[in-house]
Amino acid sequence: MRSIRILLVDDSYHFLQSAAEFLNKDPNITVAGCATSGREALQQVSELMPDLVLMDLTMPGMDGFEATQRIKSRAGPPHVIILTLCDNPEYRIAAEEIGADGFVAKSDFATELCPMIDRVLGIPCRPLSDS
C-alpha cells in the first residue's frame, strides 16, 4: 500500500507537533511538511506535492479559506481537509463551497480524522498505539 503524503497547515506550533506525532504513528502516512500560514501552504504544496493538506482556517495573513480556494483552483490539486477549532455550520458550508474535500473539528481530531481520510482518499488511516 502506498504512503499518504500530508502537509499540515496551522499557525500553532504545538498543534503541528501534536498532529504530526499522531499521524506519524500510522505506517501509511508520511507528514511531508508543515506550514504556519496560508501563503506558506501554497509554496509547500508546489514544492512537496502532498496527497492531502490538513488546513486550519484562522491564521494571520492569508486564512485557510483563501489558501484552500487557491490550492483547489490549481491543476491536479491535492485533497484538502479543513481541520479547525471553528466548528459551525456556516464554516462547513463555506469550506464545501470553496472545494474542501472534508471538514473535521479539532475537538474531534482523534476520532474523526482517520475516518475522514479513509473516505476522502480511500486509504486506511490507522495510527498505531505506543503500547
**9-28 average pLDDT score:** 94
For residue range 25-35, list pLDDT tens digits in order. 998 899 999 99
For residue range 51-60, list pLDDT tens digits in order. 999 999 999 8
Please report the domains of the chain, with CATH numbers, ordered by start residue. Answer: 4-121 (3.40.50.2300)
**99-108 average pLDDT score:** 96
Give the contacts of 106 (CB within 8 A, at least 6 positions apart): 15, 83, 84, 85, 87
pLDDT of residue 131: 44
pLDDT of residue 128: 65
pLDDT of residue 20: 95
Q: State how far the Cα of 79 lies from the Cα of 14, in Å rounded to an integer.
A: 24
**What's the pLDDT band for 2 if we cut at 50, 70, 90?**
low
Q: Which three cell numbers stand for residue 89?
A: 455550520
Which of these ranges, 5-9, 70-74, 116-120, 124-128, has the smallest mean pLDDT?
A: 124-128
CA 4 to chain centre: 12
